[in-house]
Amino acid sequence: MASIVGKRQGGRTYYYLVESARVGGKPRIVSQRYLGSAEEVAARLSQAGPGEPTRTRHLAFGDVAATWALLGRLGLARVVDRVVGARRADAAVSVGTYIALAVCNRVVAPCSKLAFADWWATTCLERRLGLPRSALDHRRWWDAMEAVSTAQLAEVERAVVAAMVAEFGIDLGGLVLDMTNFATYIDSANPAAPIAQRGHAKQKRTDLRLVGLGLVVATDGGVPICSHAYGGDRPDVTQFADLVDALADRFRAVGGHDGDITLVYDAGQDSAANQAHVQASPFHFVGSLPPSDFPRLLGVPAAQYAPVDEAVWPGLTCYQTRTVALGADRRVIVTHSPTLHAKQVRGFAQTLAAVGRRLDELAARLARGRTRRPRQTVEAEIARLLKPRWTARVIGWTLTGEQPSSLRLAWAIDQAARQALEAEQFGKRILFTDREDWPAAKVVAAYRSQSEVEADFRQLKDPKVVSFPPMFHWTDHKIRVHVFCCVMALTVARLLRREAERAGLVMSVRELLACLGGIQETVLLYQGARGRPRARRMLTDIDPTQQRLFDLFGLAAYAPHR
């Protein structure tokens, strides 16, 4: 039974809507809702004044809550606190919570630690965790990062991977290894950050410093299994053995998986020492060899190639044989892809056109007869212009004259040589493996799974979500913690995508987070005559896809309730 009850307080009467019921045979108030003073009730009925919301706030909910829920399933904060010990970076927040918060931010809206508190105030987690703003000061973050040693980071990663395999049933039968680098703006002269060094930046800039990252991911969802940070001035091939050792150690921690695992990597990791290291490990392997190093294999006539699997890869053919490579006899599979062939033809045509324009410019300068450069200098320039791959093989040229004023250049493309080059080189890859019992189609499928790790690196370079930059850490140790948080963020994002895909929702990471981000929390603020405004929280309207994600990730547990 509902009724309105007035209560006197401070000389004024305040009204409540109460519900009464019999409890144990006696009448009791089972719920009550505050209505306000008589003036406030009258104003509400007139649809003016404090009875209506005076303003609203909109908080990020869906993407943040889904990320935080998955971090809870992984137990990241608990694992960090267990490994680090009782030491706390702040009176209110544990080191593990700081690391989990950093990972959550990296997934949803990467920013600096200085800007974290402002971002935090726009999310629903402020309500759920209730952290004091003082605990989010950037100096507290630095203290937390210093509290975790490099050895402890590796131990945490091992424990989280073990929990992930157990919780999500990740298939570890196929693993892909690759390496890349990320640019920073740290001065390489800084002795506190030896991991950030000058190297070959893919952005073609000389003012950047690089941090290298080796990553091993499972072909089941592209989920990271093992990571290795190293100095940006070190060649990738020198880090291969360390990453394989770390991977073997990781699987000893997981247990029961290292008997039938295939490690896939590209030709950039090739060396006799690296190959011997893999063969001494518990892993099988599928790799590739540089085609230019094996002209005999490339010269096999097309008639000896057979289809790989017409139903899966129409037009893809292969030729199987054995050869000596990287210090041992290997099973090799030479594949020819018409798609790759066509792309290489287009790319080579663009290269030839660019080289041709430069040769024409040089020929025109020489024809004017005003050059002072001797013949040897002009020949060296022609050799430099023909340096792009394969161009010297198909472009023929003649330089006449001996004196600078009499030098003349003529050049032409040898179409027969071009056709021979395309038939020999284009569209071909040379794969090698110790999987003697696998059919060619399975070897090719394993090698093509490298797209998983390539997609992960592209994701880490996405400036909007799950991003490595921005990075505002200037010491070696903090950079390593930053790398760890980025890899954990990638793990969370890939698991979210994998769970959605298994539920029939196929989306990219950015599409998934954008869809979840459309679920927001609205806060209605009611300002009374005095004091702080009353708040009422609710979720925005959601579409059917968002509803499926809402149910899939259990977001009801994080939604506001009256």
What's the pLDDT at 47?
Answer: 56
What's the pLDDT at 528?
Answer: 67
CA distance 155 to 145: 15
What's the pLDDT at 45?
Answer: 67
What's the pLDDT at 51?
Answer: 55
What's the pLDDT at 190?
Answer: 62
Q: Which residues of the chain have pLDDT under 50?
A: 49, 256, 258
Taking phi first (over 0 means left), then psi (-120 to 50 degrees means alpha), and beta for anything else, what does residue 492 get? Answer: alpha
What's the pLDDT at 309?
Answer: 92
**At 404, which amino acid appears?**
P
What's the pLDDT at 206?
Answer: 67
What pTM was computed for the model?
0.82
CA distance 471 to 483: 9
What's the pLDDT at 36?
Answer: 75
